[in-house]
Chains A and B, each alone.
Chain A
Amino acid sequence: MAQVVVVTSGKGGVGKTTTTAALGAALAQTGQRVAVVDFDVGLRNLDLVLGAERRVVYDLIYVSQGNVKLSQALIRDKRLETLYLLAASQTRDKDALTDEGVAKVMGELRESFDWIICDSPAGIERGATLAMRHADIAVVVTNPEVSSVRDSDRIVGLLDAKTDMAARGERMEKHLLLTRYDPVRAGRGDMLNVDDVIDILSLPLLGIIPESEEVLRASNLGAPVTISNTKSAPARAYSDAAQRLMGEDVPMVFPSDRSGLFGKLFGRRAA
């Protein structure tokens, strides 16, 4: 049965698009059929992070309005044959996205994919609520920083109020994905640590993505970090998180565990 996942955060710039691309690719690498859908109408970027920006012809709004078939708008990844992108419109107004239109597209996607990953825009406006509306699972992307934690808490409230699951009286499965985590600064008490954020938000932890130059390198190249450098710390953390989404029991690796004695003794940097 298809699972619809919303990647959301409230705050912008915390890593929603990076996460959508990385989790989507990691799931597709296991042979699952995956569609990643960009809901950020007017400010689309998932196409760029996936390196498909020159291949976008039709988008989510075209399909939602019934102007083209879903199969015409889906862009198949050149590296992973089970990974597909449905881009957002860059020129249309976000009001062009209607509730019924999105419901229709989601229904069709559910028929042909195992995973549908919705990349939410920042904020709590229409685009963000539409991205979460049809989800079965939410991945709440949070940085260890006060404004991000506060906004995540607000989003958790919306997930329990403004989604189809909430309307049916069900409680959505929500996971915390802590990104841009710097174990050295957290260890020194200069950054909220993993336990602080889990305690404050009371969400189960899906993964900890260490702050890493590999993430920027991957987006420069137009490849999800889980494809560009599979051995890197963020790629492994994202792959583990994807396994957990699939219900596997993968032990949590804390970023600091990966640095050796040498690193501990001589000016460590983030993983």
Chain B
Amino acid sequence: MNWFMPFGRRKSASVARERLQILLTHERGAGDHEDLIPVLREEVLAAVAKHVPVDVDKVQVKIERGKAVSLLEIDIELPCDAQPAKRRAVARRATRSQRVAVSQAH
């Protein structure tokens, strides 16, 4: 932050103002469609989970409303060893030796 105020600490009130402006823009946007974000989150999660295992806590849905364009941002973090759910299902049914083979294939 010192890039903006090279000769001293940035005033806390201006940090507060900036944080509030960002936060409230976000919260007001959501207010128009109060249920939109949780609904999108559920449905997107269900769609992705059909094919790739997903950690529920690692999904973020954000809407930024601008004057001309709004931006819908969906952020899903996949685990490193993510593999198609079908494979997983197959693996679960497989014998121990076969399971090793599947994991080696990756």
Contact = CB atoms under 8 A, between A and B. Distances in A.
Contacts of A200: 17, 20-21, 24
A77 B20 CA distance: 41
A145 B16 CA distance: 8
A188 B11 CA distance: 8
Contacts of B13: 186, 189-193, 196
Interface in B12-41: 12-14, 16-17, 19-21, 23-24, 27-28, 31
A186 B14 CA distance: 10
A229 B16 CA distance: 34
B28 A157 contact: yes
Contact of A192 (B16, B27, B28, B31): B16
Nearest to B14: A189
Contact of A153 (B16, B17, B19, B27): B27
B34 to A, nearest CB: 9
Contacts, number: 37
A172 to B, nearest CB: 16
A149 interface: yes
A200 B24 CA distance: 8
B11 A153 contact: no
A105 B24 CA distance: 36
A190 B17 CA distance: 11
Contact of A146 (B11, B14, B19, B28): B19
A192 B14 CA distance: 7
A153 B11 CA distance: 23
B27 to A, nearest CB: 7
> Binding site of A, secondary structure by majority: helix, strand, loop or mixed?
helix
A194 to B, nearest CB: 11
Given A153-B27, A157-B28, A157-B31, A146 B12 contact: no
B28 to A, nearest CB: 7
A144 to B, nearest CB: 8
Contact of A190 (B11, B23, B24): B11
Contacts of B11: 188-190
B25 to A, nearest CB: 10
B24 A153 contact: yes
A196 B14 CA distance: 9
A157 B32 CA distance: 10
Interface string B67-101: 00000000000000000000000000000000000
Interface of A: 145-146, 149-150, 153-154, 157, 186, 188-193, 196, 199-200
The 9 closest A-B pairs by CB, nearest first: A189-B11, A196-B17, A189-B13, A146-B16, A192-B13, A157-B31, A153-B24, A200-B20, A192-B16
Given A149-B20, A153-B27, A190-B12, 17 more contacts: A146-B16, A146-B20, A153-B24, A154-B27, A157-B28, A157-B31, A186-B13, A189-B11, A189-B12, A190-B13, A191-B13, A192-B16, A196-B13, A196-B16, A199-B17, A200-B17, A200-B20
